[in-house]
Amino acid sequence: MSKRDYYEVLGVSRDASKADLKKAYRRLAMKHHPDRNTDNSEAAEEKFKEAKAAHEILSDANKRAAYDQYGHAGVDPSMGGGQSRGAGGFEDIFSDIFGGGRRGGQRAQRGSDLQYNLELTLEEAVFGDEVKIRVPTMSNCKTCSGSGAKKGSSATTCATCGGAGQVRMQQGYFAVQQACPQCRGKGKVIKDPCTDCHGQGRIQEQKTLSVKVPAGVDTGDRIRLSGEGEAGEQGATSGDLYVQMHVKAHDIFQRDDNDLHCEMPISIGTAALGGEIEVPTLNGKLRLKIPSETQTGKLFRMRGKGVKPVRGGATGDLLCRVMVETPVKLSNKQKDLIKEFEKSIQADSKHHSPKDASWGDRMKKFFDNL
């Protein structure tokens, strides 16, 4: 077979969608069908195979990426590339177009994957935990062990398709295979269905699972529980369950990646004269020394008091922002003391309130320039 560019073979652009690829493939399959090219069937078969090979590679995202980067070498098994199915006969090609296969019927369908949204407290996310969850799902029927047939009986080969799961329909020049209407492509029929699942092999139930939450997870992280999704049809493989993490808001801390943030109020006296305050952490309390003349909004960093990353690495920090709190509900005596204190400050405002003095100078200059 020639090594023409696969996009050229199908006659599509390199950014063609999957739907565009299938449309182009179907058009070529119709065009080069041997029943429509009886005068040159060998050439038609070659073009059939070429179109099939191109469609198989470009309709698979991984193979397409390898082909786009390395060309034919990226998908040629003899050169270490990805493997693709050899181009089969015309019946295989038409089964790709119209669905189904021609040998042994369709496979029983794998169960669907499920997602469960798990809400965690900040403490559970940071330190890890083991939680119980209840998941509504389709599970294998225990009565018939997922077969769908009544206990003591079994499914029988479909008489319509002989177990192939496909029936062949001749329409003029075209011979098309489609799923058997009797067994719906499974190749077997259940004459005596299970009374609990009514032949489905699955029943709806609530499943209780234990989920181990590793320390350090955050909103958006997820855990895959293999085989804990919906059961497959008639004993087929179960899907997976994805547990999606959502960390609830905390009363004190806000999380930013591996760091924690909090705000702590301090009094005017502590801010002016200095002192110590008690700061909460997820591991207990710490004493934080506040230097004299601390301004509101100053940020203090406590290293290693944040979150240890779930994938390893250095533990984050706790960043505490202090906010100077203005006293309220003052008595007359307290108000008088503050007025007296304010007068003493204003007597030398540039020395005691440098920011206020600097702001006043800038404001005066602004109005002078108007």
pLDDT tens track for 332-358: 999 999 999 888 887 776 667 767 667
| Same domain membership, residue 125 and residue 89 | no
**Which of the two residues, 294 and 108, has the higher pLDDT score?**
294
| Angle (CA) 54 58 62, round 5° | 135
pLDDT band at 138 (very low <50, low <70, confident <90, very high): confident
pLDDT, average across residues 9-29? 87
| Same domain membership, residue 274 and residue 199 | no
Please count the other Cβ atoms lying within 10 Å of the Cβ belonging to residue 3: 9
Whole-number Å distance between alpha carbons of 113 and 239:
5
Residue appearing with tokens 């996310």: 125
| Same domain membership, residue 359 and residue 315 | no
Residue 329 has pLDDT above 80, yes or no: yes
| Same domain membership, residue 277 and residue 232 | no
pLDDT, average across residues 148-163? 84
Given this model, what pLDDT does residue 109 score? 74
**106 within a domain of the structure (yes/no):** no
| Same domain membership, residue 88 and residue 35 | yes
pLDDT, average across residues 239-268? 94
pLDDT band at 359 (very low <50, low <70, confident <90, very high): low
Residue 58 has pLDDT above 80, yes or no: yes
pLDDT, average across residues 81-98? 42
Choose among 184, 320, 187, 183: nearest CA to 263: 320
Query: Encoding tokens for residue 312?
Result: 């390893």
Final residue of a structural domain among 35, 64, 98: 98
Query: How high is the mean pLDDT of the chain?
Result: 82
Q: What is the 3-state secondary structure (H, E, C) of 56-95?
A: HHHCCHHHHHHHHHHHHHHCCHHHCCCCCCCCCCHHHHHH
| Same domain membership, residue 129 and residue 28 | no
Q: Which of 67-71, 136-140, 236-240 has the lowest mean pLDDT?
A: 67-71
Given this model, what pLDDT does residue 70 score? 66
**104 within a domain of the structure (yes/no):** no
pLDDT band at 177 (very low <50, low <70, confident <90, very high): confident
**1 within a domain of the structure (yes/no):** no
φ/ψ bin of 145: left (φ > 0), alpha (ψ from -120 to 50), beta (otherwise): left
Helix (H) or strand (E) holding 328, with range, is none
**108 within a domain of the structure (yes/no):** no
Residue 41 has pLDDT above 50, yes or no: yes
**105 within a domain of the structure (yes/no):** no
| Same domain membership, residue 293 and residue 187 | no
Given this model, what pLDDT does residue 356 score? 67
Given this model, what pLDDT does residue 212 score? 95
DSSP 193: B
Query: Encoding tokens for residue 173?
Result: 């020049």
**267 within a domain of the structure (yes/no):** yes
Final residue of a structural domain among 180, 215, 244: 244
pLDDT, average across residues 173-198? 79
| Same domain membership, residue 176 and residue 153 | yes
Whole-number Å distance between alpha carbons of 118 and 246:
6
| Same domain membership, residue 203 and residue 128 | yes
Q: What is the CATH number of the domain that holds 238?
A: 2.10.230.10
Q: What is the CATH number of the domain that holds 284?
A: 2.60.260.20
| Same domain membership, residue 130 and residue 237 | yes
**330 within a domain of the structure (yes/no):** no
Given this model, what pLDDT does residue 98 score? 44
DSSP 45: H
Choose among 246, 261, 272: nearest CA to 325: 272
Given this model, what pLDDT does residue 337 score? 93
Final residue of a structural domain among 244, 277, 306: 244
Number of domain units in the chain: 4
pLDDT, average across residues 8-36? 84
Given this model, what pLDDT does residue 169 score? 72
Q: Where is mean pLDDT largest: 38-42, 225-229, 257-261, 308-312?
A: 257-261
| Same domain membership, residue 266 and residue 174 | no
pLDDT band at 171 (very low <50, low <70, confident <90, very high): low
Given this model, what pLDDT does residue 325 score? 94
Residue 154 has pLDDT above 70, yes or no: yes
| Same domain membership, residue 266 and residue 233 | no
Range of the domain at 228: 114-244
**249 within a domain of the structure (yes/no):** no
Q: What is the CATH number of the domain that holds 21?
A: 1.10.287.110
